[in-house]
Amino acid sequence: MHKDELLELHEQMVIIMEYFEELEQVDEDLFAQYEEIDVTPEDVHMSKSEHKHAVFVLGNALANAMSEDEFSDAGRVGKRMKELAEDAENKL
């Protein structure tokens, strides 16, 4: 995936995150880890690896927001996103 495509994906995922943040039944700390890494789609000067890490961390949080438990489809996606985020972080 090219960096511009990754930035577009990151931007779309942030829009989905903002939707979930507006819902009352979603844990307000759900996106804390994503917010801590402080990489946004607007940060075009950041490396592709940093954006990849941010996308995986955000993907994990979004999957957790949609999952009923760790064995649901979204739960399994969340677990895989967490693994990918850890791998991407180790490569930074």
Contact at 8 Å (CB) between 30 and 65?
A: yes
**pLDDT recorded at residue 79:** 80
The helix/strand/coil state of 47 is: coil
Give the span between the Cα atoms of 5 and 13, in whole angstroms.
12
- Boundaries of domain holding 49: 3-90
In the chain, the number of structural domains is 1
- pLDDT of residue 27 exceeding 60: yes
Instruction: Supply the CATH number for residue 63's domain.
Output: 1.20.1270.110
- Give the type of residue at 21: E
- Reported as a single tens digit per residue, the pLDDT across 31-87 is 999 999 999 999 999 999 999 999 999 999 998 888 765 556 766 787 888 888 899
